[in-house]
Amino acid sequence: MSGQGTEGFMSLGDVDVLETLGVKDFVQGLTRRGKLWMFNQLFGDNWWAGLFDIVAEADWSKDVTVSPSGIINVIRDYMYRTVDIGAIVGEEIGSESVMEMMSEGLSSALETNFNASLQTILNVWKGGLPPDLSFAMQLGSNIDRTETMYALSILAPVGHLPYVILSALREGAMNRLDAKYTNIQEFYANLLMQKFNAVSADLNAYLALLEDVLTNTLRDVTNFIERLENFIVNVCNETLARVNQLEDDLEANKIRYDNGIIGSDEYEKRLLEIDADVDATSSVFSEYISEVTNQITEYVNTLDSIKNDVVIVIQEYMDLVENYVKTLTDDFTSEVNALADISEMKNKIMSLYNKIKAYRKTGFAYA
């Protein structure tokens, strides 16, 4: 009766009160923690450090740093450690703490030792890594010395699009041509350098002439600015002196009028004379300023004309040099294209591309 009473108290129908209130999880968690504490007291930090010693102390061989037997021992020892800790904290937590640590926390650290050794051993018997695009480029550089079926066996597993493979083949072939025709390139490069040296002599003469023109122009501009500056200063000084004189006359007449020396009619007459002198002075100053503006405009137009003439001369000469260099370049290109194996290499590359395009059923048609 008491058991039934306790069971009835712990559950209401199908509802477990302890589970609903989270008491069971709390008690189970405390129990696991207590077990883990006891485990740590018994075995200490050495047990945890041993997780890393498993790999560090694994057997080795002359070929790899972790031998086949060492790999087996590592797997076995980690399984033992997983079972050990799982017995204390539960299978799920034990497995997650050890095995997930290997797959996540140690994945990068083990890449160049344990994983690398395993990969090396398996590759001896089952190596199957497909070629990448660099193989296509290397094949293109030797396309004139490679049998067609062998080339297809290399290109077929390459995972790029057919026209990307074509681009790599073309780049490799161009590298091959660059190496094969180095002597021709050096010959034409020397010829081109000699022509450039001859042209440079004329160009240096033009540059010296332009430098003289520029120097003389700058000197003339400096002289013009100095003359213009002196002229403006003189005009301003004379105008200012005249204005000061008129101001003195105005003050003197005002004093005469205030002291009764001259009457109102005479004072008014003298004011009109001073006003007329001010207008005349202002008109003369405006004429001087207009003259300065005209001189500046004419001089700037002259400089602009000189500049245009210089630019035209330089442009005509540079066009002449460019046309001459283009002629040499076209001659060099014609000589290279005339070599028979260029067309043969191109035809072979296009044949390989068309075969890959045909069985993959994708790609573009190129001439």
pLDDT band at 5 (very low <50, low <70, confident <90, very high): very low
Is pLDDT of 360 > 50?
A: yes
> 332 is written with which tokens?
């060099």
What confidence score (pLDDT) does residue 95 get?
Answer: 66
Write down the residue that tokens 């095995």 correspond to: 99
Query: Structure tokens of 58?
Result: 């694994």
Over residues 79-108, the pLDDT tens digits come to: 888 888 887 777 667 666 666 666 655 566
User: Is residue 92 helix, strand or coil?
Assistant: helix
The dihedrals phi and psi of 245, each to the nearest 5 degrees, come to -65, -45
**Of 294, 274, 293, 270, which is closest to residue 282 (Cα–Cα)?**
274
Q: How does 301-335 read in b/e, with b if 16+ C-beta sit within 10 Å?
A: eeeeeeeeebeeeeeeeeeeeeeeeeeeeeebeee
Mean pLDDT for 323-343 is 69
Percent of the chain surpassing pLDDT 90? 4
pLDDT surpasses 90 at 167 = yes
pLDDT tens, residue by residue, 45-91: 888 788 778 888 888 887 778 888 888 888 888 888 888 888 777 76
pLDDT, position 6 = 44
Task: Please check the confidence at residue 229 and state whether its pLDDT lies above 70.
Answer: yes
Structure tokens at 301: 């137009």
- Are 75 and 58 spatial neighbours (Cβ–Cβ below 8 Å)? no
Query: Does residue 326 have a pLDDT over 80?
Result: no
- The model scores a pTM over 0.75: no
The domain spans of the chain are 2-126, 182-338
Interacting residues of 106 by C-beta distance below 8 A, sequence separation 6+: 55
Which of 103-107, 111-115, 198-202, 296-300 is least confident?
103-107
